[in-house]
Amino acid sequence: MSIAPAPRLHAAPIAQDAVREQVRALLRGGAVEAQLLDRRQDRRYPFPVLMTLHSVDPDASYAPQVIVGRDICERGLGFFHPAPIPFRVGIVVCDLTDGRQVAFEIDITWCRFARQGWYESGCRLLKPATPPQITHTAV
């Protein structure tokens, strides 16, 4: 018994040149902000990682927030977040693949609204930190 391959969902040929031109238009035309003048001293690396942002004040009513990494260097971190952050100094926790966690105390130096309801921020990495202990309550 042989199984015939499934028919292609898109019968039209892929217009690769048109796709390339659309991508170039996105890169040229404002979907991605041009970095014409980069005053950074350190090389940044793409860092698309989910992390958790905590307040350094254990008595604060701020619940930890999941943030999305944008880029990282030896002195700083850029990230996206879905809600305003009501403090400047916090702790960022990142889970490693082996189950360990890496945490930094950070100083958020800038924030801007980045469309679609998200915010973009940048921070200085101040020092290594101990990940906060999260207590889970039964529902």
Q: Range with the lowest mean pLDDT among 8-17, 39-48, 85-94, 108-117? A: 8-17
Distance CA 131, CA 53 (A): 10
Residue 61 pLDDT: 84
What does the CA dihedral 82, 86, 89, 94 come to, rounded to 10 degrees?
A: -30
Q: 20 in the Ramachandran plot: left (φ > 0), alpha (ψ -120 to 50) or beta?
A: alpha
Q: Per-residue pLDDT tens for 40-99?
A: 677 889 999 999 999 998 777 889 999 999 999 999 999 999 999 999 999 999 998 998
User: Is CATH 2.40.10.220 what the domain over 42-128 is classified as, yes or no?
Assistant: yes
Structure tokens that stand for 57 in this block: 């004040």
Yes or no: say if 64 and 83 are a contact pair by the CB < 8 Å rule.
no
Percent of the chain with pLDDT over 70: 72
Prediction pTM value: 0.71
Q: Which of 22-36, 97-111, 121-135 has the highest mean pLDDT?
A: 97-111
- Tell me the residue type at 4: A
pLDDT given at position 55: 93
Averaged pLDDT score across all residues of the chain? 82
Structure confidence at residue 37 as a pLDDT band (50, 70, 90): very low
